[in-house]
Amino acid sequence: MAAQEPMRVLVTGAAGQPRPPAPPIRAVSDPMRSRLGRPGSGQVVEIHSKWGQIGYALVPMIARGVMLGADQPVILHMLDIEFAAEALKGVKMELIDAAFPLLKGVVATTDVVEACTGVNVAVMVGGFPRKEGMERKDVMTKNVSIYKAQASALEAHAAPNCKVLVVANPANTNALILKEFAPSIPEKNISCLTRLDHNRALGQISERLGVQVSDVKNAIIWGNHSSSQYPDVNHATVKTSSGEKPVRELVQDDEWLNGEFIATVQQRGAAIIKARKLSSALSAASSACDHIRDWVLGTAEGTFVSMGVYSDGSYGVPAGLIYSFPVTCSGGEWTIVQGLPIDEFSRKKMDATAQELSEEKALAYSCLA
């Protein structure tokens, strides 16, 4: 059996140290795009991180095959700003020293053209964080500028089949802006990360019931990657010795499921910051791997996961939003799970988070004026 071609994975913000906000990426036309982006020529996963911690946590996971599979060789492309150039060299040294069998090469660069050419997967972790005294529109203006520029860079340099995962907040709306300014990238190839919230929901159920998290499945995150998200366990099940059982049947505490459970998942990021004095990095990196792996390699039969994707109007969600839905994946494509019954409690929660996304969209578009 012939050895697989290495997939090129681009990670930006991988230096793992504090740095000033990155300047906007300028798009440069790339006549080599069609040749360098041909299928099978490699894969580039692009990750932007203000502090670098998610990118730094993600790099060894990719090199070990967590993202793309245990038999898939990779060539890592790492992009960072000039401020972090020396630290980036250090990360390259560490990767070489780790002697990962799947890692077939490492490129460390501050040149966005060198890094982005031929990218097949882009994981966008970086954005402009809200600082004390800033209004929402100020933050949105900064992020619109960043994602408009990054979209242009992807438009110019990415492979035609590029898959994009946006992590930086406001993730859903950042993904929507990126979609608007990278029109050659299919809308089905642009997503945002709600898998972290999905995994948090699975973890809370696992802890509550004292079962293995691998035995819990089909929780859903609806809507925005924010505190308005709706973690829904109405369709979630747990594998038991007597077969799969509904989570609600096993927990037998609707007050907890409709109250504390939802609030815990919604506020988990803030709780980690309070405890760690830093935002989630390890869990975010792991969830990004889960998101891409399922998207590329497929979900297990009978299992669905949560992805922020472009709404087609399913479940009464306004079309034109990037909204988290339950999806299955096969052949490198996601499909929204259809026909799930929605009760009145869920409907209100789903509508509320959709309203927040509509307001964010309007604010973002006003920043473009």
**DSSP-assigned letter for residue 243:** E
Cβ–Cβ under 8 Å, residues 53 and 278: yes
Q: Is 168 among the annotated ligand-binding positions?
A: yes
Q: Is 143 among the annotated ligand-binding positions?
A: yes
Q: Is 71 among the annotated ligand-binding positions?
A: no
Cβ–Cβ under 8 Å, residues 193 and 225: yes
Cβ–Cβ under 8 Å, residues 106 and 79: no
Q: How far apart are the C-alpha atoms of 34 and 48, rounded to whole Å? A: 24
Residue carrying the six token digits 């070489």: 96
Q: Is 232 among the annotated ligand-binding positions?
A: no
Residue carrying the six token digits 């681009």: 10
Q: Is 35 among the annotated ligand-binding positions?
A: no
Q: Is 200 among the annotated ligand-binding positions?
A: yes
Q: Is 174 among the annotated ligand-binding positions?
A: no
89: Cβ contacts below 8 Å, ≥ 6 apart = 108
Let me know if 198 is a catalytic residue.
no
Of 48, 77, 198, 225, catalytic: 225
Q: Is 164 among the annotated ligand-binding positions?
A: no
Phi, psi of 212 (to 5 degrees): -70, 135
DSSP, residue by residue, 59-97: HHHHHTTTTT-TT--EEEEEE--GGGHHHHHHHHHHHHH
Catalytic residues: 225
* Sequence ranges of the binding site for substrate: 130, 136, 169, 200
Annotated binding site: 80, 130, 136, 143, 167-169, 200
Residues making up the binding site for NAD(+) = 80, 143, 167-169
